[in-house]
């Protein structure tokens, strides 16, 4: 039976966390309206806030900040702003878990060469067996949030090694919480909201049954809170995570033309959602999430953007349409070393 979809965002009814009222509007949209009316006088993120933080730490070490760069439009624009607009000296970090297409890496390399900044490229197959287990056990855990736990911990480790106090991401407003205080204290990867509840529970269950019983992954974190605890205790770092996209007028229509002209950037030949730059696993992760929950983490992100008035519901539906060839899924299974 096809699930009902909110008439205002792109989330679908998914008990007990997401439900629609008599008008077809989900509880997440209704809660957002209530919250925004209650804090209507609260100041939004301002560029002056961002500048104060950058200036506080500028020039204290060899590098002013650590920039995460995937090669996509958001992280590329973020790095471009940091270097050209804010005149910071970054160390750039690109990770590859074995499923990042070559053209994404080539795009990242071209960007750092054009900007003349130092770059760490890190490639590993450490996560491959975990990805494989997710598929083989038919777990409802979503691959991408699990991967984010790993790469954020690795990012904190590198920040610690170079004594860097600020980590710069390319995350959009749709990937943050609505609270400024929460964003600045939880590195923006807030998986506490109701939309993530079922996914978070599936992650914890998967970790207990299939991950922490494996010697390779016995210390793997189960939440972003654990990532922060490990970063502070093991790596002795309290680096904060920020994104320029939270503080300045931010829309791809604004910054994509800039990075195309200045850096020769272009959209990759193949990625999901449309007009994004994500790894090959995104095709499988998103397909499985929709099958298990009716929506993916990208539906959550774009629903946030719809509520903020940054994209229309029609645009989101078009970008999220799963119309890619099934051969892509077959190739991912082959790369994981399992039969479909």
DSSP symbols for 238-259: --EEE-GGGTS---HHHHHHHH
Q: Would you say 107 and 75 are in contact if contact means Cβ atoms under 8 Å apart? A: no
What digits encode the pLDDT tens for the residues 115-128? Answer: 999 999 999 999 99
Q: Give the model's pLDDT for residue 36.
A: 79
Q: What share of the chain is helix, strand, coil (3-state, %, to 5)?
A: 50, 10, 40
pLDDT score, position 188: 47
Specify the pLDDT at position 50.
Answer: 92
pLDDT of residue 186: 47
DSSP 108-129: HHHHHHHHT-EEEEEE--TTHH
Alpha carbons 36 and 45: distance in angstroms, whole number = 14
Report the CATH number that the domain containing residue 328 is assigned in CATH. Answer: 3.40.50.620
Identify whether the C-beta of residue 111 lies closer than 8 Å to the C-beta of residue 88: no
Whole-number pLDDT of residue 28: 94
- What confidence tens digit (pLDDT) does each residue in 167-211 have? 999 998 877 654 444 444 445 455 567 788 888 889 889 999 999
Q: Residue 42: its pLDDT value, please? A: 52
Count of structural domains, the chain = 1
Question: Cα separation of 147 and 286, whole Å?
Answer: 13
Residues with Cβ within 8 Å of residue 15, at least 6 apart in sequence: none
Classify residue 5 by its DSSP letter.
Answer: B
* Tokens of residue 187, six digits: 């590195």
What is the C-alpha R_g of the chain?
Answer: 20
Alpha carbons 148 and 266: distance in angstroms, whole number: 24
Residues of the chain with pLDDT under 70: 1-2, 38-44, 176-192
Q: Which domain holds residue 295?
A: 1-340
User: Model's pTM, two decimal places?
Assistant: 0.91
Q: How far apart are CA 123 and CA 98, in angstroms?
A: 7
Residue 309 falls in which region: left (phi positive, over 0), alpha (psi -120 to 50) or beta = left
């Amino acid at each position: 039976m096809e699930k009902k979809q909110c008439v205002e965002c792109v989330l679908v009814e998914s008990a007990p966390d997401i439900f629609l009222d008599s008008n077809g509007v989900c509880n997440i949209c209704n809660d957002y309206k209530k919250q925004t009316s209650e804090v209507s006088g609260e100041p939004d993120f301002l560029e002056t806030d961002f500048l104060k933080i950058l200036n506080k730490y500028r020039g204290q070490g060899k590098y002013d900040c650590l920039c995460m760069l995937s090669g996509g439009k958001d992280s590329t624009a973020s790095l471009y702003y940091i270097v050209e607009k804010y005149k910071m000296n970054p160390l750039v970090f690109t990770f590859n878990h074995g499923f990042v297409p070559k053209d994404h890496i080539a795009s990242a390399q071209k960007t750092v060469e054009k900007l003349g900044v130092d770059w760490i490229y890190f490639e590993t197959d450490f996560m491959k067996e975990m990805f494989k287990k997710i598929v083989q056990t038919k777990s409802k855990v979503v691959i991408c949030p699990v991967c984010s736990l790993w790469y954020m911990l690795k990012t904190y480790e590198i920040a610690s090694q170079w004594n860097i106090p600020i980590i710069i991401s390319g995350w959009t407003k749709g990937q943050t919480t609505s609270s400024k205080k929460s964003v600045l204290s939880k590195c923006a990867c807030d998986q506490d909201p109701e939309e993530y509840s079922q996914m978070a529970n599936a992650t914890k269950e998967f970790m207990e049954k299939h991950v922490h019983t494996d010697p390779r992954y016995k210390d793997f974190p189960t939440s972003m809170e654990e990532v922060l605890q490990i970063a502070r205790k093991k790596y002795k770092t309290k680096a904060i995570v920020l994104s320029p996209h939270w503080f300045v007028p931010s829309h791809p229509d604004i910054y994509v033309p800039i990075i195309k002209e200045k850096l020769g950037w272009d959209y990759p030949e193949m990625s999901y959602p449309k007009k994004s730059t994500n790894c090959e696993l995104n095709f499988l992760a998103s397909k499985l999430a929709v099958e298990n929950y009716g929506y993916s983490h990208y539906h959550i992100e774009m629903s946030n953007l719809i509520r903020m008035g940054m994209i229309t519901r029609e645009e989101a539906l078009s970008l999220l349409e799963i119309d890619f060839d099934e051969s892509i899924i077959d190739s991912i299974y082959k790369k994981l070393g399992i039969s479909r």
